[in-house]
Amino acid sequence: MLCLLVLLYGAESWTLNQAISAKLEAFEMWLYRRMLRVSWVDRITNQEILSRMRKGKELLPMIKSRKLEYLGHIMRNTERYQLLQVILQGKILGRRGVGEGVSHG
């Protein structure tokens, strides 16, 4: 349990891409294999490991859920996270002048 808490520290701010997601899933399966004392050379599939543990893959859904909860926290707290809200919503106040922001190259 302590290992999981250390792993998830700051997970709300992670950018999840395919490479990181694959590493997290591999880590989760490594933990399950360690708990069951199954070696990698035993040729036991991940599905078999999950069925022995009587669970599915939980790490990535947990991280995604925590990210969504944090996003909700940011969007509700307008005083403290005003800059983050502007960045996330992509809204910029004011008007663009004529010819500004247009590149001619």
The DSSP symbol for 15 reads -
Whether 94 maps to a domain, the answer reads no
The DSSP symbol for 8 reads T
Backbone angles phi, psi at 16, to 5 degrees: -90, 120
Whether 52 maps to a domain, the answer reads yes
Whether 47 maps to a domain, the answer reads yes
Nearest to 74 by CA among 62, 91, 86, 61: 86
Do the beta carbons of residue 66 and residue 13 sit within 8 Å?
no
Whether 97 maps to a domain, the answer reads no
Nearest-angstrom CA–CA distance, 26 and 101 = 44
pLDDT digit string (tens) for 26-85?
A: 999 999 999 999 988 888 999 999 999 999 999 999 999 999 998 888 888 878 878 777
Give 18's pLDDT tier (boundaries 50, 70, 90): very high
Whether 100 maps to a domain, the answer reads no
- Name the domain count of the chain: 1
Whether 48 maps to a domain, the answer reads yes
The domain containing residue 32 runs over which residues?
15-89
Whether 58 maps to a domain, the answer reads yes
Whether 22 maps to a domain, the answer reads yes
Buried b or exposed e, range 9-44, using 16+ CB within 10 angstroms:
eebeeeeeeeeeeeebeeebbeebbeeeeeeeeeee
